[in-house]
Structure 1
Amino acid sequence: MSVSDDEARAWPAPRDNTLLLGHDQAESVFLAAARSGRLPHAWLIAGPEGIGKATFAYRAARFMLAGGLTSESGPSLFGEASEPAGMDVDPQSSVFRRVAAASHPDLLTVERGYNERTKKERSEIVVEDARSVGEFLHLTAGDGGWRIVIVDSVDEMNRNAANAILKTLEEPPKNALLLLVSHSPGRLLPTIRSRCRLLRMRALDDAVMGDLLTRYLPEEGGENRLLLSRLGEGSIGKALALYQAGGLSLYRELVALLGDLPRLEARKLHGFAGKFERAGNETAFETSMTLLADWIARLVRAGSLNQLPPAILAEEEETARRLLALHSLDRWMELWEKVRHLTARTDAINLERKQVVINAFLALQAS
């Protein structure tokens, strides 16, 4: 099932999200550093994609822009200022509203920009975007407070942009705070990693995933939310993206096709692949191919341990048992790489999406 644009907009963006669940430890680490009076000038906020890292970055930025430890402090019973229990900032406050509207003068967000020539979003963060960081941080902050930069995500910087950020990290101005969101910190320049305080955030557990999906998708039945939770693998962002792309029905159809292996039904396969012929179905195609690649990856991981992968749908257990015997693990790894390669090359060289899906399943069928 997919959602309308109105429903999609009901899911808050990181900059105006008041809800962050499952990351109490990360918040405690940041608060402890702030309370120590020795807050590192740069934080590498690392973890799987879609778990709330950018939401955390905006939460930390709002907290510091609102006055940090003094923003919610008040006289205690003994006349002393009390420390805030967390990093909540009133959604009705001017700081929260300006951050949400991307209009706070002391906060700069660096993301992939828009290419005026191609009229599309860039595939990477370019050096012009990164250079703006140094210029911004050397301006005077309002009320003598913090100047804060969020880079979402730092993995998307090209080499020149990474070097520009590195220069800022090497010579940070006073009261400058950089919050670098990273899905794959191991791919960053070692010199960038070494100049940041690493804050590692974990995938969400089943209870948190269930809570968030109940909040965001109250109209869905428990079975569908459970399926999304399993497919999301601890990432609420991934689960909601799958839902929006119609991933529930696509996954069920994929599992049915896999259940036919090694004897595919041509009519069923062509009917499924035909969904992606029409213009505008690029997201559904990419979602299906990603679901297929993920399914193979789970099969390989479990097979390497002489186990069956956890069944997301009940009927998958027998399918996985049979398909593990169909090919060697080395062959399954080759097929995983083939599916990913086909997906990546489809738009790059204008391949026919229907034929790509058919070819992927024929490769799975071949001995």
Structure 2
Amino acid sequence: MYEDPRIASLALQGHVQALDVFRTGLATGRLAHAWLITGPPGIGKATFAFRVARIILGGEAPQSPAGRRITAATHADLLVVGRGFDEKKQRYRGEIVADDVRPINAFLRRTAAEGGWRVVIVDGAEWLNRSAANALLKILEEPPPEAVLLLTSSAPGRLLPTIRSRCRRLDLAPLPSACVQSIVMGAAPDLDPAELQRCLAGANGSAGRAFALLADEGGRMAGLVEKVLAGQSVSQSYATAEAVLRKDEGFNLFFSLLSDALQERARGAARQGLGVSVVFAQAWEAIMRLQAETERFNLDKQETLLEAMTIASKA
């Protein structure tokens, strides 16, 4: 249901002030060479990065030569790095590996094909494994002129401190409700009004979360997450795991909703000045790592779900 961020960047929703930061930096010749674009999952960080690439490469107009090449993924001065897609398993790999990062060196060593800037987007930088992170760090330590690296991350704390210190950080805010509604209606114009309101009510400014809620027909999966966080017996946890795995894409949906719920509790506790916010944050980190390792090593999903529920209920 998600639109390709290359295309979606032509009609980016929200983040106007953040875009102005790049427009001003480009106009004044003070554009930082590396940026860490952060914010909650599903608010359009990748789409934002592609819009920035369009600004830098002169491709904001969809029918301009540069605009068409960016949309078609053929612009010679734009390189995109992210988790590779495993065609056999039909899913994204659990990490970004060194082989994914190495092309950046060759890309930045050559002269810009169109005589201007070169742009590298590293989407989901929190998925960099140790070798990939070290390879990227070497590039950030000696950046070439007229090159910009855009790193997106929903979990910047998982990045090496040395990578964070070499990037200018830009935190994107959650989207206004009207923007989320526009994105959802664009993807599902015939959506039942009651379902739309249910999704918007729990979206918290994230189109990605709205789509996750939309996939959770009737809110059943969200209800399972709430029961987990309220505490349940071992037998109830097994029943929950079975219910999750019976649904197509249930595993990923459950983790998405559980992740969002923990993050929301962490933010709420932090706003109230409660030290328990750290506990929720640590639980979220452990669960995200558990999901990534399950995807990477093809671990037993039922065991992963049971462990994740134990972590969440303790928090």
Write out per-residue CA displacement over residues 340-362 of structure 1, whole angstroms, 9 at most, x where no aligned residue.
59x84877542548x967x969x
1:205 and 2:171 matched: no
The 3 A distance-change label for structure 1 pair 21 and 173 is same
Aligned counterpart, 2:250: 284
Q: CA deviation at 1:15?
A: 1.1
The 3 A distance-change label for structure 1 pair 132 and 273 is closer
Report the residue type matching 1:95 in the other structure: A
Q: CA deviation at 1:98?
A: 1.5
Aligned counterpart, 2:155: 184
Matching of residues 11-30 of structure 1 within 5 Å? 11-17=2-8, 18-30=10-22
Aligned counterpart, 1:63: 55
Please tell me the root mean square deviation across aligned C-alpha atoms, in Å.
Answer: 4.1
Report the residue type matching 2:40 in the other structure: P
Matching of residues 1-367 of structure 1 within 5 Å? 8=1, 11-17=2-8, 18-66=10-58, 89-114=60-85, 121-243=92-214, 245-251=215-221, 254=224, 258=227, 275-276=243-244, 278=246, 281=247, 283-288=249-254, 290-291=256-257, 294-295=260-261, 340=287, 344=291, 349-350=299-300, 352=302
Q: CA deviation at 1:24?
A: 0.9
- Could you tell me whether the CA contact under 8 Å between 1:254 and 1:292 is conserved in 2? no
Write out per-residue CA displacement over residues 266-292 of structure 1, whole angstroms, 9 at most, x where no aligned residue.
99x96x7655455xx452233235435
Q: CA deviation at 1:56?
A: 1.2
What SS class does the counterpart of residue 143 from structure 1 fall into? coil
Unaligned segments of structure 2, at least 5 residues = none
| TM-score, structure 1 as length reference | 0.67
- Could you tell me whether the CA contact under 8 Å between 2:221 and 2:244 is conserved in 1? no
Aligned counterpart, 1:83: none
- Could you tell me whether the CA contact under 8 Å between 2:126 and 2:154 is conserved in 1? yes
- Could you tell me whether the CA contact under 8 Å between 1:15 and 1:58 is conserved in 2? yes
The 3 A distance-change label for structure 1 pair 15 and 115 is same
Counterpart CA distance in 2 for 1:137 and 1:305 is 42
- Could you tell me whether the CA contact under 8 Å between 1:137 and 1:176 is conserved in 2? yes
Counterpart CA distance in 1 for 2:33 and 2:270 is 43
Report the residue type matching 2:254 in the other structure: S
Q: CA deviation at 1:64?
A: 1.8
What SS class does the counterpart of residue 29 from structure 2 fall into? coil
- Could you tell me whether the CA contact under 8 Å between 2:37 and 2:150 is conserved in 1? yes
Query: Bigger shift: 96-105 or 25-34?
Result: 96-105
Counterpart CA distance in 2 for 1:168 and 1:300 is 34
Counterpart CA distance in 1 for 2:160 and 2:91 is 27
Which structure carries more helix by proportion? Answer: 2
The 3 A distance-change label for structure 1 pair 13 and 140 is same
Report the residue type matching 2:26 in the other structure: A
The 3 A distance-change label for structure 1 pair 191 and 231 is same
Q: CA deviation at 1:26?
A: 0.2
Aligned counterpart, 1:318: none
What number of residue pairs does the alignment pair up? Answer: 300
Write out per-residue CA displacement over residues 155-174 of structure 1, whole angstroms, 9 at most, x where no aligned residue.
11111111111111121222
Counterpart CA distance in 1 for 2:120 and 2:245 is 42
Counterpart CA distance in 1 for 2:255 and 2:186 is 28
Bigger radius of gyration, 1 or 2?
A: 1
Counterpart CA distance in 2 for 1:47 and 1:232 is 14
Q: CA deviation at 1:134?
A: 1.3
Counterpart CA distance in 2 for 1:246 and 1:184 is 24
Unaligned segments of structure 1, at least 5 residues = 1-7, 67-87, 307-328
Report the residue type matching 1:350 in the other structure: D
- Could you tell me whether the CA contact under 8 Å between 2:222 and 2:257 is conserved in 1? no
Report the residue type matching 2:17 in the other structure: Q
